[in-house]
Amino acid sequence: MWFKSVGFALSVGMALVVVLIGFTLLSAAGLAGFSANDVAQASEPELQEVGMLPASQTAAPSPAASPAEAAEIAAGDALFKGNCAQCHAVNEQVVGPALAGISKRRPVSWLIPWIKNSSKVVASGDDYAVALFNKFNKQQMPSFALSDKEITSIIAYVKSEEGGAAAPAAVAMVSE
């Protein structure tokens, strides 16, 4: 009699412990409950939209793109194919330079005006722009009526497609 109830109490105790351990493991693995990260991630694109976060920060390479990043890359992919792909590829030179590594060569503050109106940047006397324009036989890149957001999505797409090394052409040119 005495034995039986001790045994019963023990097995109830064990079952509780097992349930508790299970729950702890689940929440450690992030399967149960919220993590502060989810909330922080969701608000990044909004911050970027109002200009509080530099685009380069959100577009930082991460092994697993968040849904917002994936959507941005998909939008950039479509814009790239529609507007840029006849002259540019990410990893090879076509009519214009390979765009791989572009966000490391040039700041977004240069890329946006360049893509909107490259001849204006060349005309301003910007050293890099003038050298690049001369190197590509003064072939003018067309102007694009794209929004800043569309341009940063193209940059995010290029980043997602670039192979390990930055394209050598324009990098070498800067030091000439």
DSSP letters, 97-137, are: ---TTHHHHS-HHHHHHHHH-HHHHHHTT-HHHHHHHHHTT
Which residue, 73 or 102, is less far from ligand HEC as judged by CB? 102
Residue 30 corresponds to which amino acid?
G
Which residue, 69 or 133, is less far from ligand HEC as judged by CB? 133
Q: Cβ 39 to ligand HEC, closest distance in Å?
A: 33
Contacts (Cβ under 8 Å, ≥6 apart) of 76: 150, 153, 154, 155, 156, 157, 158, 160
Residue tagged 């002259």 (tokens): 87
Which of 140, 147, 163, 172 touches ligand HEC by CB under 6 A? Answer: 140
Site stretch for ligand HEC (CB under 6 A), options 4-12, 52-60, 64-72, 79-87? 79-87
Which of 59, 89, 90, 102 touches ligand HEC by CB under 6 A? Answer: 102
Which of 89, 112, 132, 156 touches ligand HEC by CB under 6 A? Answer: 132
Distance CA 52, CA 85 (A): 31
DSSP 19: H
The site map against ligand HEC for 22-61 (x = CB under 6 A) is: ----------------------------------------
